[in-house]
């Protein structure tokens, strides 16, 4: 028995932070950002992580033609959870009305969706779960210093979700490659939600913003994703010539192009939607998958490759034989409540919190 994706959906918050907006916040410009990242704007969440997760989940369930009572597993992949306990998956379960469904969170940073898909598909294939909801969701602006142009131009907020169900033999996940290297984990760190240190400690802006070593991350990402895809394809008995679509983590367009070029995959087969979303960490692949399906870029029986790298450092790739359905069974009208202010109002607290790092 295989495990296939039968539903998909995303949530892009209604507020956008454009490159023109960033020009008012930090010393940068549109050309500099687009040439180095491929990003033009990114979503900004005025509510909470679970609000985005709920919208994406409802779209995915509608696409699969199921309701909350049909679920028996919910997994939320995130590095920016709304709270620590109960898990965000449990909060989402209550929001959806999926009473009694197993639920837990997973943190593999930007590789979270790939790790999550490997987990839920294995459980479905083994008969442990029948219908699983997997959500990748991030509210990354919370840890961004909007005076640091090396990081704040990259990241956005959003959520993507899929439904995983049993499929026929030969369909679904064909191979998985997962890995990590904690020795180089210091290249991407933020401690905002951690318990390290004294209970009464003040929040130090220098310790609670994202630490990101861009050049090192670029090299790690290109090498890590390339080698991970090669291993996964080898395990599936396939080559890059057999690949129909690659849906990579949307970290940086230059990283995506470098990795897929090294693999020998034609650009026409690579799904890239970073321009309007930015890097949304664990949400980026399911958001890109949703766009790929809605744009008709995936056909029944296609060989689809997901690949990602992230903090930890983690990496992972999945080779999947797509099922028969590439169209939604139904649609949902779920959406976030409208914001009461603009994007500058939303980011005012961030700017104030990190201001001491930039005072002369």
Give per-residue pLDDT as tens, 46-62.
999 999 999 999 999 99
Question: Among 19, 107, 279, 350, which one carries the catalytic annotation?
Answer: 279
Q: Is the pLDDT of residue 189 over 80?
A: no
Q: How confident is the model at residue 346 (pLDDT cuts 50, 70, 90)?
A: very high
Cβ atoms within 10 Å of 215's Cβ, excluding its own:
8
Q: What is the pLDDT of residue 122?
A: 96
**Weakest-pLDDT range from 49-53, 96-100, 122-126, 205-209:** 205-209
Mean pLDDT calculated for residue range 311-326: 92
Q: What is the pLDDT of residue 224?
A: 75
Given the DSSP bridges, would you call strands 245-248 and 303-310 parallel, antiparallel or unpaired?
parallel
| pLDDT digit string, tens, across residues 249-281 | 998 898 899 888 889 999 999 999 999 999 999
Active-site residue, 279 included: yes
Q: Is the pLDDT of residue 32 over 50?
A: yes
**Weakest-pLDDT range from 102-106, 182-186, 280-284, 288-292:** 182-186
CATH architecture of the domain with residue range 2-325: 3-Layer(aba) Sandwich (3.40)
Q: How confident is the model at residue 199 (pLDDT cuts 50, 70, 90)?
A: very low
CA dihedral 12, 245, 221, 286 (to 10 degrees): 30
Active-site residue, 110 included: yes
Q: How confident is the model at residue 193 (pLDDT cuts 50, 70, 90)?
A: low
Q: Is the pLDDT of residue 91 over 90?
A: yes
Q: How confident is the model at residue 311 (pLDDT cuts 50, 70, 90)?
A: confident
Question: Among 46, 249, 321, 350, which one carries the catalytic annotation?
Answer: 249
Q: How far is CA 164 from CA 94, 103, 221, in A?
A: 20, 14, 27
Share of the chain above pLDDT 70, in %: 89
Q: What is the pLDDT of residue 355?
A: 81
Greater pLDDT, 355 or 333: 333
Domain ranges across the chain: 2-325
Return mean pLDDT, the chain: 90
Question: Among 110, 141, 152, 321, which one carries the catalytic annotation?
Answer: 110
């Amino acid at each position: 028995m295989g495990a296939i994706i039968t539903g998909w959906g995303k949530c892009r918050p209604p507020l956008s932070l454009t490159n023109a907006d960033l020009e008012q916040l930090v010393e940068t410009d549109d050309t500099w950002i687009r040439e180095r990242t491929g990003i033009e704007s990114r979503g900004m969440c005025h509510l909470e992580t679970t609000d985005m997760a709920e919208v994406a989940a409802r779209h995915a369930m509608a696409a699969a033609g199921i309701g909350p009572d049909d679920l028996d597993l919910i997994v939320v992949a995130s590095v920016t959870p709304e709270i620590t306990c109960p898990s965000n998956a449990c909060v989402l379960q209550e929001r959806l009305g999926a009473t009694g469904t197993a639920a837990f969170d997973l943190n593999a940073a930007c590789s979270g969706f790939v790790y999550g898909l490997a987990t839920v598909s294995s459980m479905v294939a083994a008969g442990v779960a029948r219908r699983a909801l997997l959500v990748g969701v991030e509210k990354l602006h919370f840890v961004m210093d909007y005076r640091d142009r090396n990081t704040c131009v990259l990241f956005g907020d959003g959520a993507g979700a899929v439904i995983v169900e049993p499929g026929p033999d030969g369909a679904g996940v064909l191979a998985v490659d997962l890995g990590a290297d904690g020795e180089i984990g210091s290249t991407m760190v933020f401690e905002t939600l951690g318990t390290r240190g004294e209970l009464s400690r003040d929040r130090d802006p220098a310790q609670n913003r994202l630490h990101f070593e861009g050049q090192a991350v670029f090299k790690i990402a290109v090498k890590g994703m390339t080698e991970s895809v090669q291993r996964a394809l080898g395990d599936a008995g396939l080559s890059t010539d057999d690949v129909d679509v690659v849906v990579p983590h949307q970290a940086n367009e230059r990283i995506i192009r470098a990795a897929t070029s090294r693999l020998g995959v034609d650009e026409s087969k690579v799904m890239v939607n970073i321009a309007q979303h930015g890097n949304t960490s664990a949400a980026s692949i399911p958001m890109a998958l949703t766009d790929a399906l809605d744009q008709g870029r995936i056909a029944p029986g296609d060989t689809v490759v997901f690949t990602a790298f992230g903090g930890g450092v983690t990496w992972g790739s999945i080779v999947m034989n797509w099922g028969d359905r590439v169209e939604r069974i139904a649609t949902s009208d779920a959406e976030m409540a409208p914001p009461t202010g603009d994007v500058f109002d939303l980011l005012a607290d961030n700017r104030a919190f990190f201001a001491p790092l930039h005072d002369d």
